[in-house]
Structure 1
């Protein structure tokens, strides 16, 4: 009976996080993993100088690589608060279907809804895997701008819900720009508090920063069109 074969991808995040410019690349191998033989040992390659080939590390050298940094309180707080921040964005997009006049507003709101719903699931999974507490579904209602920058007040949410047509479109875009800018501030606060050392939290924060930055540019373009 033939042995099974599987592809092995070793992500050496510790070397990237701890060694900076001396980061290690990853080599993907295929090896036996079954009764006929053990899986092939993964190779970790240290890149050479520009124009020079990299060098494969020996098993003993690989064993000396530092472990990935653990998450800390700043990471946990960032994830917990960002879940609430995203939850309010979903409350805002839920108002669009029967209030918006602009098709562009509806399309952009759908994009925001999809991306932030996916990110909430990622953050919940991150917290659960680390044994950290998930925030309650309505905790963000008690938040204020000092805790979660960019959050709309209850009065602003009521103002948005009461608007219709072109007025709603302009208000939605204005408020969502502010909301997204608040998320970028929260990313800055994460690193300022010493978070983002764990590779997974760092990667997620960078993705949030990039995605919301792109959406802010789209929102500003739409803001200009709605004002004309």
Structure 2
């Protein structure tokens, strides 16, 4: 599970959300009227003093934290990560006859295309360049789980059942890399800004669900 961190009067309060977070985020997309349960936020007290539960009116007085370098690097790296997933789904024509694989790839194509546009807006609204500075997580760097040129060429050469197995295996690893990037975001102090936190959690929830789906499909292929 991922930590939910809220800055309250200069103190970072950590609220751990259960596994229901992923389900809630998924349900909210399927049913716009769905309202996930509210988080319980506690402001830590002074040493030796108990914490204090914050009401909605208390939280309304708290200014949301801004984005950090960790947020920028996460978004800058996730764009080329998503872009490669789209390159992988573009290979299906003439290489697979599986309706299940085709449907999965279409879902990935639609969702990640939308997310790329969303990340590009995030960068533009904050006047952050689309690529990280030299040595950072830029477009020329391979993010966790991304295919090397040799691995991508291998996928291009595959056909039929061989392609399906290799596509699913590669996309599972690709999605797992995205989950690693989410973990790295929080481990390096990012995800405090509401927008970057929400996006990271949606990536974590959606791609976790798709990993399970692909693992089931792969098992059926044998």
TM-score (norm 1): 0.70
Structure 1 distance, partners of 2:55, 2:156, is 60
2:130 is matched with which residue: 130, 134, 138? 134
1:200 is matched with which residue: 195, 198, 216? 195
Deviations 1:56-78 (A, max 9, x none): 74xxx788x23111100000000
Deviations 1:126-152 (A, max 9, x none): 11101101139xx64x323xxx11010
2:89 is matched with which residue: 59, 84, 93? 93
- Mapped pair 1:143 → 2:138: no
Give the 3 Å change call, closer, same or farther, for CA 66–224 of structure 1 in structure 2. same
Structure 2 distance, partners of 1:56, 1:174, is 45
Aligned ranges 1:67-216 → 2 under 5 Å = 67-135=63-131, 140=139, 142-144=140-142, 148-216=143-211
Query: Secondary structure of 1:71's partner?
Result: coil
The match for 2:217 is 222
Q: Which has the higher contact order (CA 8 A, sep 6+)?
A: 2
Q: CA deviation at 1:101?
A: 2.2
Query: Unaligned stretches of 5+ in structure 1?
Result: 1-12, 22-46, 48-53
TM-score (norm 2): 0.72
Q: CA deviation at 1:198?
A: 0.5
Give the 3 Å change call, closer, same or farther, for CA 155–20 of structure 1 in structure 2. closer
Structure 2 distance, partners of 1:86, 1:56, is 36
Query: Secondary structure of 1:166's partner?
Result: helix
Give the 3 Å change call, closer, same or farther, for CA 190–19 of structure 1 in structure 2. closer
Query: Secondary structure of 2:144's partner?
Result: coil
| RMSD of aligned alpha carbons | 2.5
Deviations 1:149-176 (A, max 9, x none): 1010000100101111111111000000
Structure 2 distance, partners of 1:56, 1:119, is 30
